[in-house]
Structure 1
């Protein structure tokens, strides 16, 4: 008996320590846990996030970042392993693949004036670097200068603390593609413009800037194409810049207030006056800190580890960066924007820097839950985009860019309206959606629908008619048509519209090959493309293979399950994604693109979480009555593929999408099918998460006995009542309340296994 007692006591003690991790310090503010360097250890060949440290406010018009890459045209501007800083630039870059626009940089130097990027660079160390969303600080060893930045939405403050020197300079580099600078000593000002861009802008595109110093200039200089002109105060050319010299004593700060505008030089100065004015550096930093904490505090989490807190709040920070506000306020306080589509200055909202191919999946559904007012404003911006360009955007930066596939603007618009969010012109947006569904853009393959005539007439886009990535397009158009079907019904549109999109929402069936249980390329004749290699990336797919796109039936997992032969075949296919070795065929690209390599190295078979097409796939286990498998794999992805470190992501972050996946999954649910009004339950990682909603309600997710081993849901309750559904409704969340999970280290294979507990599928609605 004594031995048994000791054994039981020892077992309980072991269990206690297993489920009692080192908890995060919950008295700290959420901002303390954010690490903007996460994902910055990346390169063209291999991505751990492809991010840069964005020093910015949520959805700010301008971001700022240190630059370590001396190649000014390279999208990888800050690389964690670099050891020199060559400037601090205003950036609008949403992705290194899209690259930057409207950028200019400041850089302090001491000694003989050097302006070339390589020559002005200074050694620095992460040991003497502070990086937070609201504040950046670095010691530039070559010059004995400490550089600091703190942002507002359209402006920022710099503080450069110099050594004793008669040759202390601040440079302003306006970059290439046409720029202008003018130094006005009596105003202690440098003003001008830059025109650099990577496409998607009208001919009159400019970014006007104004930088005001708090110290008189001893000397002024300009340069053009790196040739310095001492004493010159004005320069215009292909690539120009300015330099102002000071005499400083040791430890003397030189403060610079800087703002910009896409509208005019006068508007740039107005933005500076309105957002910074007479504030001190510390006051601006304090305001920025409060803004970030107010947003991050909208979701309070408890009962997690230091790593989990870091992952969560860093992911939330990234989710709140894009899309970018592209509007300003004129001297009368009226909202105006420079149109990146027709080059005019017009009233109203405009947002940009977003790839809907990525963000329709989780970022925008997150906004519907937590930021419905912002979502309504974005819809107003889409109305303006359509009126100004004649098309809905799919990848805007700042105007239409030819990147990715699909017409996912339909999903974003429909999900917003179906979520009960109002206050914008839905009729104009519906008109725009209809145009998209029947037309392809004359010049851009990513705007409208490339291959639309084939899709509408044959029910799929053939693989042999010159339309690349034909199956990816077919599947994404079909899902978009599902959301249009739902929207048309909600708007009481003609029956012909409703029936048209109901039919097209089932077009995914036309490219499913039952002999292989994969989505597969199909010729115009109706014959399957041959040979068929499921591991072949590209071709008829977009940045993925049949292993990934076969699951892109967000609207009808039950229909896909039926095509595969039922639950058993469906779950076996899901299982095989993880058990099949990560072999690949990269012949379409000619080399293994970084997304391929990022899949192979994580030892999760064919599962490629680093890219978006498959990120919802794990949650599909819920549709087949095996939610416990979803719980297992969701936890594994969160634990292994997200770290609060510079190499902490597993692929492209892409405008917050990979981060939004983590935010939702950490809370315990995910929007598999935006437009359905449901969020599929996974495995929450915190003991409690409190979501403060815009309507004043609070929705709480509670998971008792949650820990690294207790990853499975034993039982659940919604507002105190037993709950077996494997999803939450949008209304459940918005109405406030509490969902409670009892967690266990062993799967409960009975919870949520009944067909009536499965999430939405279109096939069920059509029965």
Structure 2
């Protein structure tokens, strides 16, 4: 009997491993790493880390353009391999490499440099594991460098370096220490501390302190040096606890395989079939980027209890970091609500803690808007209810009726653009219904963009109040949910700057970037009201006029742009022009939903074609893989959604707008064990149009599906064609949510 049971268990695990595919092989972490100040293909680094990990590790000084790298590190420190004392003394830290020979996977990075050193990295959730293999005929040095004021101790007997770096919080301005441990597997032949990028070398010195302080270690010639590092914002003792728990006696390859398994499990949550190999590489490379944030900012003590550091103090519990919400609210959190429900339950609690501890929600001082409420409303709409909605609404009311100019972080820029905490310009927004933009100015003040985005956030607060039966806040925010109409000029159907007397900008040019708009022009912001497509149609005179204007967005000349108040072509302008889709800018977040608006106007086939064009022409798995800044998972999440054939146009509403699936079959495995499958028969590069559809076997004409449709499991089945079906999806009932229509 025992023999049969053993055989049964063995077959079960063999069957399971066979069913799960190796999807890590498709990920290229170098995607989006080819960037200049004038053009962004993602502005990404080839990171190694676990999904929503606490720390990420990367090659330092890595340039795919110059083909140079200077070492590896993360958490505020770096390790640079050198092959001579002269390199150390003369500051010859960078070395060339062949990009074609780089291995960039989620769990493992490897680069061989021209000085003969091979650098490898793998990771646990909080610890980094590095391996440096030196050429046999050369010396072997490692140079440690950290940021801020460093206190360091070299312990040759224990083959380790310990210490801490003192930094200052960008948010609270509180000083804090990051404690570190670096454990080496090889004895030190020589050692010493360094100062000012090795301009001062103090041989045999074991302890040092100060700005620019580092250390060097020398090993035997040709050594293969393994380094495990652990960092903590709580204490040196906690750094050791983390090292013992996550690494212990495990060696490099064990940690590497462990990390691989974590990533492969996650990637298998969405299994795509069909398409080209390059499309699968692009999809899973984007899946990697879409699952790096929000990171785990907490540490686990000896007893298994979580703690986190914030604003100079240590608190009990879990805490997750905040991505820039201006980007992430549109796509990243909506994707996590599907594939990482348990993680999102923790994250919304972290958003509430951020407000409690700092007095503000994140993002407003970095970009514009009060988008924490969007994340919370979307979570509630989709069944994630681990926060108190009345408290959230109270917090939001405080957020939008107070403001503080951010003069500390990126101060000159933020002062000039009037960015800060809370709601900048709230007095005018509530008294006049918009934020005024003065006449005869070339200044980038972003007032119309702020009005539109503040209005969307008020809509989300209104929806959260409505969903939770809070009549007081529902009525309060109902007064402002159509404020976007106050900056719309019916004379030419554009949103514009408007002065305090109510006059629209007399110098308005829809091709001119900046001014009353953030990172865009009048064309891109013409369709920015994501929650109310019907309301925009009404303003423009109806569905016919709306479609004509939307068609025009994609057909006018791409290169007819003016830099306006920016004073030069910012990189977002260059990326929009290079996209070649009229004035549409797929490379920046405000346009993410624009193509899907054809679903609201009864011509879904136009969106299907444009979406497929964007997916196939603007994205790839290589260093030039994105049409603009990837922005912490926002752009990758848009790609993952759109490649599956649907997208969240209006976070805060439990609904997704349909597009054109890139693959023949997509299977989403949910945390409940249920599966939602999208099948696209006769799908191809030419067959981009939806001919017909069924949902769970029933004929389906709608241009949208609900969150419950996905989470309950089932099948969405498309028949694809090379010719548009202009009868499908044209009825009023087929159109997705619009505030003016479904309020």
Shorter-chain TM-score bucket reads over 0.9
1:44 to 37, 41, 44: 37
Partner of residue 336, structure 1: 307
Does residue 693 (structure 1) correspond to residue 665 (structure 2)? The answer is no
Measured against aligned partners, the alpha-carbon deviations of 1:654-685 in whole angstroms (never above 9, x if no partner) come to: 01111111100010000000111110000001
Partner of residue 432, structure 1: 395
2:117 to 141, 145, 161: 145
Partner of residue 173, structure 1: 145
Partner of residue 634, structure 1: 611
Q: Contact 1:221–1:244 at 8 Å: present in 2 too?
A: yes
Partner of residue 507, structure 1: 483
Measured against aligned partners, the alpha-carbon deviations of 1:60-103 in whole angstroms (never above 9, x if no partner) come to: 111111123xxxxxxxxx3212222212120xxxxxxxxxxx51
Distance in 1 (CA, whole Å) between partners of 2:69 and 2:114 is: 10
Partner of residue 86, structure 1: 70
Over 3 Å counting, the alpha-carbon distance change for 1:116 and 1:743 in structure 2 is farther
Partner of residue 626, structure 2: 649
Distance in 1 (CA, whole Å) between partners of 2:568 and 2:444 is: 21
Distance in 2 (CA, whole Å) between partners of 1:127 and 1:607 is: 33
Q: How does 1:571-590 map to 2 (within 5 A)?
A: 571-582=547-558, 583-590=560-567
Deviation at 1:350, TM superposition (A): 2.0
More off after superposition, 81-90 vs 116-125 = 116-125
Partner of residue 447, structure 1: 421
Partner of residue 162, structure 1: 134
Does residue 548 (structure 1) correspond to residue 524 (structure 2)? The answer is yes
Structure 1: 4+ residue segments shifted above 4 A: none
Q: Contact 1:610–1:650 at 8 Å: present in 2 too?
A: yes
Partner of residue 503, structure 2: 527
2:101 to 119, 128, 132: 128
Point out where structure 2 has 5 or more consecutive residues left out of the alignment.
1-18, 408-418
Aligned length: 709
Q: Contact 2:444–2:565 at 8 Å: present in 1 too?
A: no
Deviation at 1:167, TM superposition (A): 3.4
Distance in 1 (CA, whole Å) between partners of 2:542 and 2:251 is: 65
Per the alignment, in what secondary structure is the counterpart of residue 601 of structure 1? helix
1:372 to 341, 350, 359: 341
Distance in 2 (CA, whole Å) between partners of 1:206 and 1:427 is: 36
Measured against aligned partners, the alpha-carbon deviations of 1:456-504 in whole angstroms (never above 9, x if no partner) come to: 11111111399921111110111111111111122222x3421221221
Over 3 Å counting, the alpha-carbon distance change for 1:181 and 1:710 in structure 2 is same
Does residue 413 (structure 1) correspond to residue 376 (structure 2)? The answer is yes
Distance in 2 (CA, whole Å) between partners of 1:384 and 1:514 is: 43
More off after superposition, 191-200 vs 291-300 = 191-200
Partner of residue 315, structure 2: 346
Partner of residue 422, structure 1: 385
Partner of residue 413, structure 2: none
Distance in 1 (CA, whole Å) between partners of 2:376 and 2:100 is: 45
Per the alignment, in what secondary structure is the counterpart of residue 632 of structure 2? coil
Partner of residue 478, structure 1: 455
1:599 to 553, 565, 576: 576
Distance in 1 (CA, whole Å) between partners of 2:483 and 2:100 is: 56
Does residue 33 (structure 1) correspond to residue 26 (structure 2)? The answer is yes
Distance in 1 (CA, whole Å) between partners of 2:583 and 2:137 is: 59
Over 3 Å counting, the alpha-carbon distance change for 1:579 and 1:473 in structure 2 is same
Distance in 2 (CA, whole Å) between partners of 1:527 and 1:114 is: 65
2:249 to 266, 278, 288: 278
Per the alignment, in what secondary structure is the counterpart of residue 709 of structure 1? coil
Q: Contact 1:382–1:429 at 8 Å: present in 2 too?
A: no
Partner of residue 294, structure 1: 265
Distance in 2 (CA, whole Å) between partners of 1:533 and 1:198 is: 41
Does residue 404 (structure 1) correspond to residue 367 (structure 2)? The answer is yes
Partner of residue 305, structure 1: 276
Over 3 Å counting, the alpha-carbon distance change for 1:121 and 1:506 in structure 2 is same
Partner of residue 436, structure 2: 462
Over 3 Å counting, the alpha-carbon distance change for 1:393 and 1:27 in structure 2 is closer
Q: Contact 1:224–1:236 at 8 Å: present in 2 too?
A: no
Q: How does 1:676-687 map to 2 (within 5 A)?
A: 676-687=653-664
Distance in 2 (CA, whole Å) between partners of 1:197 and 1:655 is: 22
Distance in 2 (CA, whole Å) between partners of 1:724 and 1:236 is: 69
Distance in 2 (CA, whole Å) between partners of 1:266 and 1:117 is: 36
1:557 to 533, 538, 549: 533
Tell me the TM-score normalized by structure 1: 0.90
2:289 to 303, 318, 321: 318
Measured against aligned partners, the alpha-carbon deviations of 1:411-457 in whole angstroms (never above 9, x if no partner) come to: 00111112111223444323211211222135463421000111111
Distance in 2 (CA, whole Å) between partners of 1:657 and 1:632 is: 22
Measured against aligned partners, the alpha-carbon deviations of 1:188-220 in whole angstroms (never above 9, x if no partner) come to: 111122345683353322221110011221221
Does residue 674 (structure 1) correspond to residue 651 (structure 2)? The answer is yes
Distance in 2 (CA, whole Å) between partners of 1:168 and 1:44 is: 35
Does residue 732 (structure 1) correspond to residue 709 (structure 2)? The answer is yes
Distance in 1 (CA, whole Å) between partners of 2:210 and 2:656 is: 54
Partner of residue 739, structure 2: 762
Over 3 Å counting, the alpha-carbon distance change for 1:118 and 1:513 in structure 2 is farther
Deviation at 1:123, TM superposition (A): 2.2
Point out where structure 1 has 5 or more consecutive residues left out of the alignment.
1-25, 69-77, 91-101, 396-401
Q: Contact 1:557–1:761 at 8 Å: present in 2 too?
A: yes
Partner of residue 75, structure 1: none
Distance in 1 (CA, whole Å) between partners of 2:626 and 2:135 is: 39
Per the alignment, in what secondary structure is the counterpart of residue 136 of structure 1? strand
Deviation at 1:130, TM superposition (A): 1.2
Deviation at 1:140, TM superposition (A): 2.4
Distance in 2 (CA, whole Å) between partners of 1:614 and 1:571 is: 16
Distance in 2 (CA, whole Å) between partners of 1:117 and 1:638 is: 47
Deviation at 1:237, TM superposition (A): 1.0
Tell me the TM-score normalized by structure 2: 0.93
Per the alignment, in what secondary structure is the counterpart of residue 262 of structure 2? helix
Per the alignment, in what secondary structure is the counterpart of residue 441 of structure 1? strand
More off after superposition, 464-473 vs 444-453 = 464-473
Distance in 2 (CA, whole Å) between partners of 1:668 and 1:133 is: 25
Q: What is the Cα-based RMSD across aligned positions, in Å?
A: 1.9
Deviation at 1:652, TM superposition (A): 0.6
Measured against aligned partners, the alpha-carbon deviations of 1:313-372 in whole angstroms (never above 9, x if no partner) come to: 011100001122111112322111110xx2101112222251100011010111111111
Does residue 260 (structure 1) correspond to residue 231 (structure 2)? The answer is yes
Per the alignment, in what secondary structure is the counterpart of residue 120 of structure 1? coil
Measured against aligned partners, the alpha-carbon deviations of 1:363-402 in whole angstroms (never above 9, x if no partner) come to: 011111111111111111112211111111126xxxxxx3
